[in-house]
Structures are given as C-alpha cells and as structure tokens.
Amino acid sequence: MSISRTELGLTTTVARALIEAGCVQFRVDEPFRLPSGWTSPVYMDCRRLISFPKLRHALVGESLQLLRERGCLEGIDAIVGAESSGIAMAAWIADALQLPMQYVRKKAKGLGLSTQIEGVIETGDRVLLIDDLMAAGESKREFCRALHEVGAKMKDIFVVFDYGVFPTAGMLDRWGVSVHSLANWHDVLVAARSDGLVDERSLNELEAFLKDPVAWSHAHGGIVWTPR
C-alpha cells in the first residue's frame, strides 16, 4: 500500500486501507455504545491489522515518517505500548527503531512498585506511547498518570486512528502531551464516498454524526459526556 500525502498530512489512503481490511464497521439501526457511554453509528477495530502483514508494514512505515516529521522521535529512549491493542504496533515500531519497549496496563496488577508497567523503565526515560486508537481519551489519561508515577517523561502519543469527534480538548493537558494519528472519521467518510466502498445510508448517518456528535449520541441513547 502506498500512501500519498496532502498539505494537511493525513490522507484518505489510510482510511481506505482500514475500510478494505474490515476495520471499519457501520451500524445504522442499532448504534454502537462505546465504553465512555457515547453512541456512534461507526466503530473502528484496528486489532484486525495484525492479520495483514503488508498493510501493517506500510502503516508502520507511514507512522515512522509522520513521527519523524513532527519531531516525536527526537531523544526518545523507549516505546511504550498501551494495553492491549497498542502492544503490537508498539512492538513493530520499537523493532524498526531498535529501541527498548515496555507496555502499560489499564489497571495495576501484581505486587511490584510499578504494577501498571511491564518491562524495564528508568526514572527520566523519555518515552513515546503507542495505542491503536483515540476515542474519548479516558484510557490515555490513565496511561499518562501511570507513566508519570514511575518517572517517565512523555510529550507525544501516537495512534493509528483518532475518532476526532469527542470533546477531548484539555483531557491530557495536565501531562502536556500531543496526540498524533494517521486517520480519523472525516478521512473515512471521504474515502468511502470517493470509492463507493460503503452504502449511502451508512455514509449519510456517519455524516450526520460528524456534524454534531454530542447531539447525535444523545438522540440515540448515549450520554452527553464531558471530560472530568
């Protein structure tokens, strides 16, 4: 898979590849209910990428190019994968960069002092957190807290896909991190419409959702969620 770039950086080529790999799911009549309580007519399952070696290789290459362009790899000591869906992508990127890797759990487990972190991490290590996607952002907040507690320094998070619709502004400000991604739902809408990959009814519902995600979620039984 080759990925052409636009002036905005992220392109519909990645979104098209995700659609073709079956990562994008539509449900018009019975919306998806996400862990945050939001409802959505679409769902992204990036976990499928582990089964497509050519696609994952291409996405790793594009991820590294994006991260280099944005200065996210400068001075990095280690790559940290987010439990559980971010671990595979983190391993591929760490291997490509020949860097140490750890992973961070969603909840503490075991008897050690750093029970949310698996692997060797030292106070002051500069790390890049990798996950498969960014939705409401609550899990990212927990990962940032856990890494901060063991003395890791982090300024960037990378995800393959960012929902890009939830009110996550300010969610991660406490840790001063920025989130970078290869695609979002607006890219999916453009890619699906241009290539006729998805039926028109599903696309119309996605378009309505993107115009006002809060109102759409509320009208379809979801909570009107705001960051804590």
Q: What is the pLDDT of residues 117-130, one digit of tens each?
A: 999 999 999 999 99
Structural domains present in the chain: 12-219 (3.40.50.2020)
Query: Is the pLDDT confidence value at 50 over 60?
Result: yes
Q: Is 137 annotated as a binding residue?
A: yes
pTM beyond 0.75? yes
Complete DSSP assignment for the chain: ------TTS--HHHHHHHHHTT-EEE-SSS-EE-TTS-EESEEE-GGGGGG-HHHHHHHHHHHHHHHHHTTTTTT--EEEEETTTTHHHHHHHHHHHT--EEEE-SS--SSSTTTTEES---TT-EEEEEEEEESSSHHHHHHHHHHHHTT-EEEEEEEEEE---S--TTTTGGGT-EEEEEEEHHHHHHHHHHHT-S-HHHHHHHHHHHH-HHHHHHHTT-------
Confidence of residue 4 (pLDDT cuts 50, 70, 90): very low
Q: Is 134 annotated as a binding residue?
A: yes
Q: Which pLDDT belongs to residue 110?
A: 66
Identity of the highest mean pLDDT range in 103-107, 167-171, 205-209: 205-209
Q: Which pLDDT belongs to residue 8?
A: 37
Q: Is 99 annotated as a binding residue?
A: no
Q: Is 45 annotated as a binding residue?
A: no
Q: Which pLDDT belongs to residue 1?
A: 43
Q: Which pLDDT belongs to residue 5?
A: 44
Q: Is 64 annotated as a binding residue?
A: no
Q: Is 58 annotated as a binding residue?
A: no
Query: Is the pLDDT confidence value at 198 over 50?
Result: yes
Q: Is 138 annotated as a binding residue?
A: yes
Q: Is 136 annotated as a binding residue?
A: yes
Q: Is 106 annotated as a binding residue?
A: yes
Q: Is 21 annotated as a binding residue?
A: no
Q: What is the mean pLDDT of residues 86-94?
A: 96
